[in-house]
Structure 1
Amino acid sequence: MMGNRRTFAAATVGGAVLVTVLSGCAGGTTVSPASSGSTAPTTSAAANSATTAAPGTFTDAQVQQLCSDMEAELQNWRTVTPTLGKGGLNIVVGSWATANGINLLDLAQHRDRVDTAMAASCPQVRDGALYALEIPDLASGMVGF
């Protein structure tokens, strides 16, 4: 019983922290896109896209870490209510994103990327999370979006 209380407390605090961080990020300054009259050569942009990942994508190592982190929590999510488990999902994803330098605001705006990455790399872990949390996809279980 004490473990469930600790999990609930951790999920509640973690969810509140994630919402606070994302709310704070949302109020930041906006950067205007480059003017349409920009004369930057397109060849350098094409060369850069070949060597770096597109913004909002994750490396294989990052996705594998998220798969491992989620797999470690699956049993906890099966034993608590889906509502509490969703708090745990947010803690895992928020901690993973922070540890990997992933922009939380971008992640919040494009949370479906987590679901897509998990479906491609570790579908069995994703399916286990969907079943335990009773959600159609991981994006719908993420708070603050």
Structure 2
Amino acid sequence: MTARTTYLDPAVRGALVALGAAAKKGLGEPGLAELVMIRASQINACAFCLDMHVGIAVDTYGESARRLALLDAWQEAGDVFSERERAALALTEAVTVLTDGFVPDEVYERAARHFTEAELAHLIGAIAVINSWNRLMVSRRIEPEGPAW
């Protein structure tokens, strides 16, 4: 597959980088943010973002191969993921796949039981920014750069 274009306006890139950093900082758990980034990227089939965020999860946060392998099946993975992580992953899926309709109340309320109002706002920001990155990379056919990890 050949990239359609590698150009990305620096202002757009800068805005997304700033939003991502703010969302992760306010979430308080950067490792959790990486799980969210990976799960949304799996749903959106963004190889570039998957490669990047798996590398960050492993290298920076010591994420295990087992948890990463089970992330796509988190609902069936028993206690591999905490309740807080499961709530974040459920919200990630609901916000990412809006073609199923609005984010269900029960999914939002589940997340709200595990996150403060500010953390929830940052979590939704993190989900929004990775979905934006996924769409930018997939639409331009940007391939992974190769494992830096």
Bucket of the pairwise TM-score, normalised by the shorter protein: under 0.3
The TM-score, its normalising length taken from structure 1, stands at 0.25
- Structure whose CA Rg is larger: 1
Greater share of residues in helix? 2
The TM-score, its normalising length taken from structure 2, stands at 0.24
The structure with higher relative contact order (CA 8 Å, sep 6+) is 2
